[in-house]
Copies of this chain bind each other. A is one copy, B any other.
């Protein structure tokens, strides 16, 4: 099912994230963008299906981007669009799409809002290199734009700038029916409820039921999360989960 379906089934819009950067793979920098974008997309009705992190190597970026853009509705990239020699995302995206890349007058105009002519040096002008046919994504933080080509949105790696760009992009995106979710704390260990929870999951095939163990102040516990695009099915499954949990807690108390 794609976002173009005109049937009564709810539209599903899918996405992937491609994080570009040696500094994430070396562990020197801890990524803060994946979780942010994931939550953001969920909240606007876009389903994140895959994430990849690749190094600053054009061949790797091109291969990952082409794999993801052919498979998912949208691809959001972060990182590698700064002014230095190791920022090769724009060139790699142009290569992936098989288009030329050059200094873009619109991007130079944006950079000129921040930098006087004597500071708009060769390095900073690298940030105006945009693949042919791309639309620019405004950057309210530091002016150097991101860009959109096809279903790919190329954004900065600095979290504050990426977030500002995502706010610009979001209203232009096609979105699907939001996935609704509800969470209940089991008060039991995951292994205590696993068998019964599997039965509930089998009886409610149209919802997704996840089980997430955690350590609370009173010991190991579990959150059960039910997700669905259909509010009624979600509600019915939650009733079944809650009833099951009451029964399992009662059994545990009698042990």
Contacts and interface: CB of A to CB of B under 8 A. Distances in A.
Interface stretch (A77-85, A132-140, A230-238): A77-85
Interface stretch (A39-47, A146-154, A169-177): A39-47
How many chain copies? 2
B52 A25 contact: no
8 contacts: A23-B210, A24-B51, A26-B39, A27-B39, A28-B42, A50-B52, A122-B194, A126-B194
Given A29-B212, A42-B26, A121 B85 contact: no
Given A26-B179, A82-B213, A124-B191, 4 more contacts: A23-B225, A83-B194, A84-B190, A121-B192
A contact patch SS: mixed
B35 A31 contact: yes
Interface in A107-129: 115, 119, 121-124, 126-127
A28 B209 contact: no
A181 interface: yes
Contacts of A104: none
Interface residues of A, number: 71
A123 B195 contact: yes
A90 to B, nearest CB: 14
A38 interface: yes
Contacts of A50: 25, 52-55, 60
A49 B28 contact: no
Nearest to A222: B84
Contacts of A181: 26, 28
Interface of A: 19, 22-31, 34-42, 47-56, 60, 82-87, 115, 119, 121-124, 126-127, 142, 158, 160, 179, 181, 190-195, 197-198, 201-202, 208-215, 220, 225, 227
A191 B40 contact: no
B54 A25 contact: no
Contacts of A123: 190-195, 197-198
A122 B195 CA distance: 6
Given A53-B51, A115-B191, A191-B121, A41 B27 contact: yes
